[in-house]
Amino acid sequence: MGVFEMNHPLIQHKLSYLRNKDTDTKIFRETLNEIAGLMTYEATKGLRLKEVETETPIMKTTTKVLADPVAIVPILRAGLGMVEGMVTFLPTARVGHIGVYRNEETLEPVYYYCKLPVDIAKSKVFLVDPMLATGGSANYAIDYLKQKGVKDISFLCIIAAPEGIERVQEAHPDVDIYAASIDEGLNEKSYIYPGLGDAGDRIFGTK
Ligand code: URA
């Protein structure tokens, strides 16, 4: 269990496009998905395998396939921006959704929607949100998944603030956190700095 900052040169190169305020919506969206895909490759290293009997054109043999169902659960709405990149590497994964937004005054998470795969309790779950800021929404979503019986959760984000990491680790030490970058901190509006701004607005072109 722990926190993993993904220093791969390709991830860092692509991250510089996301940080640039002049990157347009199209490139931002594509690059975010590319980073999410590269992170998926790393974050799935520990998935369990099981042996199955397979017949090649030559003979019967055993091959290895993923032992457990896998689910990707984006926290709406910005988490949606990572799903396409992740399913490229996990095409059999189911996708659930949790809707939590941050009350801009209290900064507390507000729940509004959830739809999860039926076998979620047996699944390895990758909970995703590009920005781990205060940790409020992440903790809310992890609590929610655990109440549904989920036992194996990893949290994937593009940028994490040390404050958010600390809060999630304190509440959920069993959850691995993967980030492309651990930034300096949170400003007075709880935005991550240097960060990349509002991830949802940049993915969906709403600002
Ligand atoms: N959410 C964002 O989209 N950006 C931040 O910097 C913090 C939270």
Q: What is the pLDDT of residues 145-166, one digit of tens each?
A: 999 999 999 999 999 999 999 9
SS (H, E, C) 56-70: CCCCEEEEEEECCCE
Is 168 touching ligand 1 by the criterion CB < 6 Å? no
Q: Which residue has the higher pLDDT, 61 or 104?
A: 61
Q: Per-residue pLDDT averaged across 55-73, rounded?
A: 97
Residues 6+ apart with CB under 8 A from 103: 109, 110
Q: Which residue among 192, 196, 201, 203 is best mutated to probe the pocket of ligand 1, counting the most ligand atoms within 8 A of its Cβ?
A: 192
Q: What is the pLDDT of residues 81-126, one digit of tens each?
A: 999 999 999 999 999 999 998 787 887 889 999 999 999 999 999 9
- What pLDDT does 203 receive? 98
For residue 200, which atom of ligand 1 is closest to its CA? 3
| Mean of per-residue pLDDT scores for the chain | 96
pLDDT band at residue 207, thresholds of 50, 70 and 90? Answer: confident
Residue 144 burial by Cβ neighbours in a 10 Å radius (0-12, 13-18, 19+): middle
Q: Which residue has the higher pLDDT, 21 or 109?
A: 21
For residue 192, which atom of ligand 1 is closest to its CA? 6
Is 85 touching ligand 1 by the criterion CB < 6 Å? no
Residue 203 identity:
I
CA dihedral 194, 199, 202, 204 (to 10 degrees): 180
- What pLDDT does 101 receive? 86
| Predicted structure pTM score | 0.95
pLDDT band at residue 200, thresholds of 50, 70 and 90? Answer: very high
> Which residue minimizes the CA distance to atom 7 of ligand 1?
191
Is 133 touching ligand 1 by the criterion CB < 6 Å? yes
- What is 3-204's CATH number? 3.40.50.2020
Per the annotation, where are the binding residues for 5-phospho-alpha-D-ribose 1-diphosphate?
Answer: 77, 102, 129-137, 198
Torsions phi, psi for 200 (to 5 deg): -60, -45
Give the domain ranges of the chain: 3-204
Is 158 touching ligand 1 by the criterion CB < 6 Å? no
- What pLDDT does 106 receive? 83
Ligand 1 centroid – CA 162 distance (Å):
13
Torsions phi, psi for 136 (to 5 deg): -65, -50
CA distance 50 to 45: 14
Ligand 1 centroid – CA 134 distance (Å):
9
